[in-house]
Homo-oligomer: A and B are copies of this chain.
Amino acid sequence: MERPRSRCPINLAVELVGDSWSLLVLRDVMFADRHGFGELHAGSLEGIATNILTDRLRRLVDAGLLTREPVPGHRQRVRYQLTEAAMDLYPVLLAMASFSLRHLDPDPDLASWAREVHAGGPEREEDVLAQIRRSNGLAHVPSAGQVVP
């Protein structure tokens, strides 16, 4: 990040992902298990434009939130995966979903994962996180650990 407006921790996060699309791209990699440009574009519920998707993927890779690797055997295909740092945005996405559940009348099907995580408690959440980690080639982590260093 070049020259943040301030080094307030909330502002730094806002500058990183506080735009209309970055968190939605991360959401689709994290919860919809989409890892290719084509499926991220075609599957976008919000109809993300190709130029915006290209830009946000590049920014997220530059920010260390996604990795971008060629798919073996497919000359032009690339796979995007979450990094460990991106996993630490999971609580942000969950908190946003929880807020929506209380106040914004989301689609029940689209909100069911968030409701399940809340209803299922820590064990259900660990399952969800373990599944996300597997899908993104991240090492198994036995328990959630410290949120802050």
Contacts and interface: CB of A to CB of B under 8 A. Distances in A.
Interface of A: 1, 5-16, 18-20, 23-24, 27, 45-47, 64, 85, 88-89, 91-107, 110-111, 114-115, 118-119, 147-149
By CB atoms of chain B within 10 A, which of A10, A107, A110, A147 has the most?
Answer: A10
B23 A18 contact: yes
A110 to B, nearest CB: 5
Main SS class of interface, A: helix
A61 to B, nearest CB: 15
Contact of A148 (B13, B91, B98): B98
Contacts of A105: 7, 12
A2 to B, nearest CB: 13
Given A12-B100, A94-B95, 19 more contacts: A5-B45, A6-B46, A7-B110, A8-B27, A9-B101, A9-B104, A9-B106, A10-B23, A10-B24, A10-B97, A10-B100, A11-B45, A13-B100, A15-B20, A16-B104, A85-B103, A91-B98, A92-B96, A98-B147
